[in-house]
Amino acid sequence: MNARQIIDRLDIALALYGQTVTLQRTAIDASTGAITVTQEVTCPAKFRTFFPQDLQAGDVQDITVILSPTSLGGFGLPSRDDRIMIDDNPSNVEQIGPLYFNGQLVRVNLLCRG
């Protein structure tokens, strides 16, 4: 088993069981607070949504996302300034968990909230 094989397996799994999401790199206008998208990439991802188990009604949910480095390309590793669009609904990227095998990026786990 090497890094390439791990990525290939992940790519196949995402193609079979994943869904398309869009990662957006955003910039904030310091004078107005307006959000502009400076870069984006559309890629397959597997995600799972967790609803908060409390009695207070709300719309905010936690989402775990699995991405392959293959589809990230020039976008590179997501950062906490990025957003992710799932079914046209934006969520904030709050935690990034890159997984490396033998020094090579083989998978990216994200924790998103939105």
- Residues of the shown chain interacting with other proteins in the complex, contacts defined by CB under 8 A: 26-28, 30-35, 56-60, 79-81, 89-92, 94-95, 111, 113-114
Which stretches within the chain are classed as H helix?
3-17, 69-72
Residue closer to other proteins (CB basis): 2 or 109: 109
The residue assigned the tokens 């967790």 is: 50
Residue closer to other proteins (CB basis): 12 or 60: 60
Residue closer to other proteins (CB basis): 17 or 51: 51
What are the distances in angstroms from CA 12 to CA 45, 70, 96?
11, 11, 22
Residue closer to other proteins (CB basis): 24 or 68: 24
In angstroms, what is the minimal distance from the CB of 53 to other proteins?
15
What does the block give as tokens for 70? 């293959």
3-state class (DSSP) for residue 37: strand
- For the chain, state the CA radius of gyration: 15
In angstroms, what is the minimal distance from the CB of 97 to other proteins?
12
How far is residue 39's CA from residue 17's CA, in Å, rounded to a whole number?
26
In angstroms, what is the minimal distance from the CB of 63 to other proteins?
13
